[in-house]
């Protein structure tokens, strides 16, 4: 977390530092506390706070007595001060949200994922316009549009490279196409990184130490955060754990190996196992992402209703995934593992006990500290909320901006 400086020419950076501290303070923070934690003078803090109050980004709250001094006025983020749009592109469903400055969802829409990038761009443009109309907010009143898509992503060019299971997608300049179609500033990010940022902004805002987010969907991807900041890596693509081998006798993967963590949790693997065990009819449609997703839902329902064989399908996958999670948790010395993603709410009842038991029994660092296992505090929309959170983060966090305008120009 950056400390401020009293040099006048970096006033804008200081403003971001102060706003960041206010948004991270769950119960508000006083001017005196801000001065102490940023290293800025009380006069500088007062000037910045006056500007933030005038812009409607911050509100004054209750007065709190501390020690013998006079009561201090607590400062809070004003949720109505700004808005952001977020879209999550998944092989089955596109989720779009409009959030306030605090990351709370004001409007939400989902639609079946259109086939091909052109259809997707025009559907996103229509949907985001509908969200703004429903909330009565002008496009000028939003900070930008965040887009969470399957990685890896060429961040500097704003291109989605080869997303698995998205038909007709290869090296798509999604960021600029969406900026042109919507007229909004667009920020493109890997879906799992966006989800981690949503947990930090909105869900588990108090996540400290080192935390992991595992996204369970058509693949498995991870994100790492340390002290409340995403660890993004050299090309902002950190977290590609999909080919971590967790069972040398496990299912075959397209990479040529067996038992990679991604294929071990893939809906296609679970559905095939269910067909082999006679739980699903061999004629069950299971070609498109939507068909696979529906078949997975049936297996989870059977397991939830107490079918032992269906439960075994899920627990076998959970044991393999748990092995990989234990390795990654040891690698980064994590004390919290958060799960989410499109399949998570269905898998959670079967995965959570297995992952907890594996970490408790086999994590090398279990002697040093426990590893907590949580479900996403944001829920099924974590990718879309994360995309919107990235826009908020980019606008207000004290670090260089990566937001690209509708003109395709990187803004200072």
- The site for Zn ion (CB under 5 A) is made up of 243, 253, 255, 257, 260
Q: Which is nearer to Zn ion, 157 or 255 (CB)?
A: 255
Phi-psi region of 17 (alpha: psi -120 to 50; beta: other; left: phi over 0): alpha
Least distance from Zn ion to the Cβ atom of residue 250, Å: 10
Nearer to Zn ion, 94 or 260 (CB): 260
Q: 346, 195, 376: which is closest to 270 by C-alpha?
A: 346
Alpha helix positions (H), 202-306: 261-265, 267-276, 289-304
Least distance from C-beta 358 to Zn ion, angstroms? 20
Q: How far is the CB of 164 from Zn ion (least distance, A)?
A: 11
DSSP bridge pairs for 410: 404
The residue (of 158 and 324) whose beta carbon lies closer to Zn ion is 324
Paired strand residues for 221? 215
- Label residue 283 exposed, middle or buried (CB < 10 Å: 0-12, 13-18, 19+): exposed
Q: How far apart are CA 246 and CA 214, in angstroms?
A: 15
Identify the bridge partners of residue 83 per DSSP, sorted by sequence position: 100, 142
Q: Select 251 or 311, whichever has its Cβ closest to Zn ion.
A: 251
Closest distance between Zn ion and the C-beta of residue 150, in Å? 16
Of the two residues 243 and 315, which places its CB atom closer to Zn ion in the complex? 243
Q: Which is nearer to Zn ion, 224 or 253 (CB)?
A: 253
Q: Least CB distance from residue 221 to Zn ion, whole Å?
A: 13
Closest by alpha carbon to 58, among 88, 29, 91?
A: 29
Distance of CA 370 to the CA centre of its chain: 24
160 by DSSP, 3-state: which? strand
Q: Where would I find the H helices in 137-288?
A: 174-182, 191-201, 261-265, 267-276
Work out how close the CB of 220 gets to Zn ion at its nearest, in angstroms, rounded to a whole number.
11
């Amino acid at each position: 977390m950056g400390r401020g400086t009293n040099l006048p020419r970096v006033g804008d950076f200081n403003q971001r530092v102060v706003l960041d501290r206010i948004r991270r303070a769950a119960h508000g923070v006083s001017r005196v506390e801000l001065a102490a934690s940023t290293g800025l003078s009380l006069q500088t803090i007062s000037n910045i706070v006056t500007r933030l109050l005038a812009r409607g980004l911050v509100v004054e709250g209750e007065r709190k007595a501390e020690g013998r001094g006079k009561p201090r006025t607590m400062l809070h983020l004003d949720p109505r001060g700004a808005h952001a749009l977020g879209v999550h592109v998944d092989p089955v469903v596109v989720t779009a949200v409009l959030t306030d400055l605090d990351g709370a969802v004001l409007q939400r829409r989902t639609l079946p994922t259109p086939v091909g990038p052109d259809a997707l761009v025009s559907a996103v443009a229509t949907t985001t316009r509908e969200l703004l109309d429903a909330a009565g907010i002008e496009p000028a009143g939003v900070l930008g549009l965040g887009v969470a898509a399957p990685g890896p992503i060429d961040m500097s060019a704003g291109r989605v490279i080869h997303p698995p299971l998205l038909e007709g997608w290869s090296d798509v300049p999604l960021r600029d196409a969406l900026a042109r179609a919507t007229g909004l500033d667009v920020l493109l990010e890997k879906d799992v990184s966006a989800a981690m940022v949503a947990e930090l902004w909105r869900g588990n805002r108090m996540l400290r130490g080192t935390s992991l987010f595992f996204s369970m969907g058509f693949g498995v991807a991870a994100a790492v955060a340390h002290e409340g900041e995403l660890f993004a890596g050299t090309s902002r693509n950190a977290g590609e754990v999909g080919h971590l081998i967790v069972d040398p006798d496990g299912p075959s993967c397209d990479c040529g190996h067996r038992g990679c963590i991604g294929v071990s949790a893939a809906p296609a693997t679970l559905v095939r196992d269910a067909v082999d065990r006679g739980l699903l009819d061999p004629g069950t449609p299971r070609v498109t992402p939507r068909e696979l997703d529906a078949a997975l839902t049936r297996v989870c329902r059977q397991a939830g209703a107490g079918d032992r064989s269906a439960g075994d399908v899920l627990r076998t996958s959970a044991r393999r995934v748990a092995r990989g999670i234990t390795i990654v948790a040891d690698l980064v010395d994590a004390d919290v593992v958060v799960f989410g993603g499109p399949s998570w709410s269905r898998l959670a009842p079967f995965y959570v006990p297995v992952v907890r038991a594996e970490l408790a029994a086999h994590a090398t660092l279990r002697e040093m500290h426990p590893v907590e296992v949580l479900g996403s505090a944001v829920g099924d929309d974590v990718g879309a909320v994360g995309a919107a959170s990235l826009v908020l983060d980019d606008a207000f966090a004290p670090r260089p901006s990566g937001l690209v305008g509708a003109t395709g120009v990187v803004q200072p």
